[in-house]
Amino acid sequence: MTFSRTITAVVAIAFGGAIAAGSGHGAMAQSGPGAAPSACQMRLSSDRAVFKPLGELGGPAGCGGPDVVHLERIILADRTEVAVEPPATLRCEMAEAVVTLVRQDLAPATATMGAALSAIENYDSYDCRGRNRVMGAKLSEHGLANALDIRSVRLKDGRVVRPADAGAPREFRVAMKTAVCNRFTTVLGPGSDGYHEDHIHMDRAERRGGYRLCQWDLHDGGARIAAAPSGRAPARAGFATMPVPLPRSRPFAAAAAGDRAIYLPAESRH
Ligand SMILES: [Zn+2]
């Protein structure tokens, strides 16, 4: 598949600010390669990101979503760019949330480490699979192109910082945790369930009552949670900041995914 174009800030300028600033009602709800940009794409391309529109993505078992984009780079206010490595395949509105996160929160937060932000590592984005790679489970938000896993960020001076690493600068981890939990409805990191010890999962799942899930233990001196449960869910380290009933311990299903074999409870949505 080839993509006919890459929308950049230049395109946004060509279309003018009126559409980009619009509310998004109605106009251009669907657009892929060669089609008119959606309202979301127009907002995204207003000097904020470089991406390719993919249009509506379909897949087996309900995978995919409307107005999906391939997010390559995020343009900061000072015109410098932050790469998404590798580019992430996300619903446009999820991509927009990631762009806002990077521009408003992560880029400023990296300044506390003495160097500008250069890239974020996309550990997983669109991935047509059941929740937690469990056969027969409901579709993961990854399968809906509505989730992103970030494992590391890279600074301009070459340093690579893993936010899930308790040894990473605490101020940055606190800032990132606060930001992602404000901007996404599901956040899973270290201490959440034993399966997110090396990356941060974020998605925009909608729940009854507007409940949000923010589970990321910063591990400041506390015991680390074992990463390889064999029969029961590990303790959650008392870290649920939102009033969401956590999955009960259930029999685990196992699924191997190369070097990322994981064992996950059937309910937590990752
Ligand atoms: Zn994930």
> Do the beta carbons of residue 103 and residue 9 sit within 8 Å?
no
CA 10 – ligand 1 centroid, Å: 32
CA 202 – ligand 1 centroid, Å: 6
CA 94 – ligand 1 centroid, Å: 13
pLDDT of residue 124: 96
- Compute the distance between CA of residue 7 and CA of residue 41 in angstroms, rounded to an integer: 8
Q: Which residues surround ligand 1, an ion (CB under 5 A)?
A: 149, 201, 270
> Do the beta carbons of residue 113 and residue 169 sit within 8 Å?
yes
pLDDT of residue 221: 54
Locate 181 and state its tokens: 């939990």
Q: Which amino acid is at 196?
A: H
CA 128 – ligand 1 centroid, Å: 12
pLDDT of residue 160: 98
**Spans of the chain below 50 pLDDT:** 1-30, 222-269
| Angle formed at CA 8 by CA 76 and CA 5, multiple of 5 degrees | 150
CA 11 – ligand 1 centroid, Å: 32
CA 21 – ligand 1 centroid, Å: 31
CA 34 – ligand 1 centroid, Å: 30
- Compute the distance between CA of residue 15 and CA of residue 17 in angstroms, rounded to an integer: 7
Q: Which amino acid is at 116?
A: A
CA 203 – ligand 1 centroid, Å: 8
- CB atoms near residue 253 (< 10 Å): 17
Q: Indicate the domain borders of the chain.
A: 2-24+92-236+247-263
pLDDT of residue 136: 74
- CB atoms near residue 124 (< 10 Å): 19
Locate 184 and state its tokens: 């996404």
- Which distant-in-sequence residues (6+ apart) come within 8 Å of 226 by Cβ? 194, 234
